Chains A and B, each alone.
Chain A
Amino acid sequence: MTLRALPDEADGLRVLVATGELDAAVVPALLPRAASLVAGARAVALDLSGATFLDSGGVRLVDQLARACADGGAPFRVVAPRGTRPRRVLELVGMADALAVDDLGAAVTALRAAG
């Protein structure tokens, strides 16, 4: 998997793009970096539309980023289109209603509305 941050938008919106498999094998190494990944951002969108697999380990990363954003007062959304595996898992663990949106445009709209 890869996880990278795109350059911040002018209004401080930061987009993190994750691709590949976010599972228990790779995610633990990323957890300590969650706070720094969102530091300084006014709003954060985690784009999982390129992720092919998400398990409870991946959910921990989503959870960790959500907590870091909450600590910094930045709204947080997850781009997980309906019908994809990440969306299915987020639904299973009860996080979809609060966090999941279908595409990046919806995420930006939601984040600006929340900001």
Chain B
Amino acid sequence: MTGHPEHPEHPEHPEHPEHPEHPEHPEHPEHPEHPEHPEHPEHPEHPEHPEHPEHPEHPEHPEHPERSAREAWERSPSALLTLRPDGTVLDANRTLLDWAGLEREDVVGSRTLSGLLTVGGRIFWETHLAPLLLVERRLDEVAVEVRTPRGRLPVLMSAVLTTAGDGPAEVVHVALSSAGDRSRYERELVAARREAERSETRLRALQAVTAALSRAVGVDGVADALLRTAVAPLGASAGTVWLTGEDGGLSPRRSTGAVVELRPPPFGEVVHGEPVLVGEDLLVPLRGQTALHGVLALTLDRGAGAEPPSVDVHTAVGQQAGLALDRAHRYEERAGIAEQLQRSLLAGEHPHDERFTFATVYRPGVEALEVGGDWFDVFTAGEDVVSVVVGDVVGRGLGAAVAMGQLRSAVRAVADPGTGPAQVLSRLDRFVDQVEAARTATLVHAQLDLGDGCVRYACAGHLPPLLLPAQGAPRYLWGGRSTPLGVVLGTRDRGEDTVQLGPGDRLLLYTDGLVERREQGLDEGLDVLLSTAAPLHGLGAQEVVESLTGALLDDGNARDDVCVLLLSWSGPVLERRVAADLTGLSPLRRELGAWLAERGAEEETAEDLVLAASEAVANAVEHGCGGRPEQHVTVRAELTRAAGPARDPVVLITVADPGRWRARTASDERGRGLGIMRAVVDEVRVEPSDTGTRLVLRHALRGGAA
């Protein structure tokens, strides 16, 4: 019966082991050697098959390199992001997505980092962190908060700005670590609050810069305002304003703080609007609407605890200053035109005469957009009188300037020879009846007699002239005062006074801008002028006026325009120092002859005096200097007054040499020279001294020797 196919032991029976469907048969799928059996090595689920996830070459196998980096990135305990420089998220890891409760597609390419932060963190990022990152290229452990479905998550943020791969594009790598360490987080949070306060301080500093720039006048005013408000208050230890010159090059205009070098920083880097950090310097371009006016170079304070620079604040400073410089350039152009007009009105022919010297200074007002009405004038009235005028027309602008020009001409027209100052003022009163803009002008008018130094002067409502004697203290001349022009109370008669000048004495006329200040009274201003002028008598006329205006006006408080005129009487003195050779005799005789003629000496008297002086000088050269040409003879001629009631003018000529007098009379020729001197002048006096010999000739200017 085993031979029957249905008998289990028959080979074709399915339960027979050699039957193919029997599980132990090798071709049966459940047999381990069959390829589809899971334990067969070629089956995909067999661990040694390459596509099995646990096979080491499978990408998802933890030991596979790509998967492990990506996985590490995804599973990092820190939230990691990659951003474009504008903050847009390029990639974010699983940790971040888990914190934020968002899917990858909600974030990548659409959100910015700041969109993931709380409102406070977002503002902090936008106003401070992002600019700081652009400048410093990194942030280290800054405390911010991330929005999560469960509320705020405090994190510490670090970031670096780097170049991505080979390309020029920059990316920001950001790591946010959960602030598990609460104390550190809180420390950072305090720092962040401090930073926010600093931001506010900067904002206030920026407002101060804006305010100062809006008040600044002129290019230098803008530079000063910038250095005052935008250097130390914005965390820099030093600053220099570089301005673009006519040639387009930059040169330093003003500095503050410890500027070590004034070498131009590499300005090639500062072409457009943004500040640039170059080495230790932050270069802030000062760009106007059309041109780069210059650069503010700031030396950043890099000490411990120093504040980082704030790019947006400095950008704003640069823009504000650029526009302020636009205004300043326009202003200076217009002020230049106004000043030119004023100066052209003041220009003109002034007399030259050896008997007097004068010096003037005209300074336009600080806010010189409008022409002022100050003027000065010097002219001769007759041969021996020089007239000086300083005046001030009320008001500013073209009207005042024109009135000034008319009044100035009017003074010249009415001051005929023989017309005294009081009479000149009376005539001007009639003139200003016709010229309304000149009414209430003030002026001081003085006439100097060049022969004797007598000054007649009158003040129409003007500040008193200051007398600066060659010796002694200066004093104001308070005589000859009356009302401004056209303001005549009661009588129309104007007063005048006189003052006697000695040789070298000076008279200072000025307008009120020299002494008036908003913060001080007029009396105080006059006192300051007096004390400033006192030590200046040793200086030349031009030096005196320059020193005075420099000392009194350079305090930055002067606003008005200023005219100053100094008149100096050379006096009846001629002083010459001649080399000890006789070739100087002839020119000296001519000078002395002219000097005597100017003083009204008669021809015969003058020629006798010239002869006597020539003899005296020849004697001094030949005998007093021992023929040594390096020696000098000093000749001084002066006019004095004789004793007695008539006080007739007397000429004194003094010839001084370094030699001794004795032995000079030994020869006949010398005796003859001395005889000539004695014969032609009233008195010849020899005054020997330790330092040499003085020979004094004294002679009446008129009338001559008896």
Contacts and interface: CB of A to CB of B under 8 A. Distances in A.
Contacts of B675: 92-93
Interface string A75-110: 000000000010011001100000000000000000
Interface stretch (B62-70, B460-468, B580-588): B580-588
Interface residues of B, number: 19
Interface in B612-645: 614-615, 618, 622
Nearest to A21: B586
Nearest to A28: B582
Contact of A56 (B582, B583, B585, B673): B673
Contact of B589 (A53, A57, A59, A89): A53
A92 B673 CA distance: 10
Contacts of B614: 23-24, 53, 55
A93 B676 CA distance: 7
Contacts, number: 49
Given A21-B586, A23-B585, A24-B618, A56 B607 contact: no
B622 A56 contact: no
Contacts of A57: 618, 669
A49 B124 CA distance: 108
A50 to B, nearest CB: 16
Nearest to B621: A24
B622 A24 contact: yes
Interface string A47-64: 000000101110110000
A24 B585 contact: yes
Given A55-B611, A55-B614, A89 B586 contact: no
Contacts of A89: 611, 676
Contacts of B618: 23-25, 55-57
Contact of B582 (A25, A53, A92, A93): A25
Interface size class of A (residues with CB under 8 A): 10 to 19
A56 B669 contact: yes
B455 interface: no
Nearest to A92: B679
B601 to A, nearest CB: 15
Given A57-B618, A85-B607, A23 B586 contact: yes
Interface in B48-63: none
Interface of B is mostly: helix
A21 B584 CA distance: 13
Contact of B586 (A25, A60, A85, A88): A25
Interface string B101-119: 0000000000000000000
Interface string A29-69: 00000000000000000000000010111011000000000
A49 to B, nearest CB: 17
A93 B679 CA distance: 9
A21 B590 CA distance: 12
A114 to B, nearest CB: 25
B589 A92 contact: no
A88 B610 CA distance: 13
Contacts of B585: 23-25
Interface string B674-688: 011001100000000
A56 B669 CA distance: 7
Interface in B648-680: 669, 672-673, 675-676, 679-680
A85 B618 CA distance: 18
B170 to A, nearest CB: 92
Interface in B577-613: 582-583, 585-586, 589, 607-608, 611
A113 to B, nearest CB: 29
- Closest A-B pairs by Cβ, 9 of them: A25-B582, A24-B618, A56-B673, A56-B672, A92-B679, A25-B585, A92-B676, A24-B582, A55-B614
19 contacts: A21-B586, A23-B582, A23-B586, A23-B614, A23-B618, A24-B585, A24-B618, A24-B622, A25-B582, A55-B615, A55-B618, A55-B676, A56-B676, A59-B672, A88-B607, A92-B679, A92-B680, A93-B672, A93-B675
Interface of B: 582-583, 585-586, 589, 607-608, 611, 614-615, 618, 622, 669, 672-673, 675-676, 679-680
Given A23-B586, A60-B669, 6 more contacts: A23-B582, A23-B614, A24-B614, A53-B614, A55-B618, A56-B672
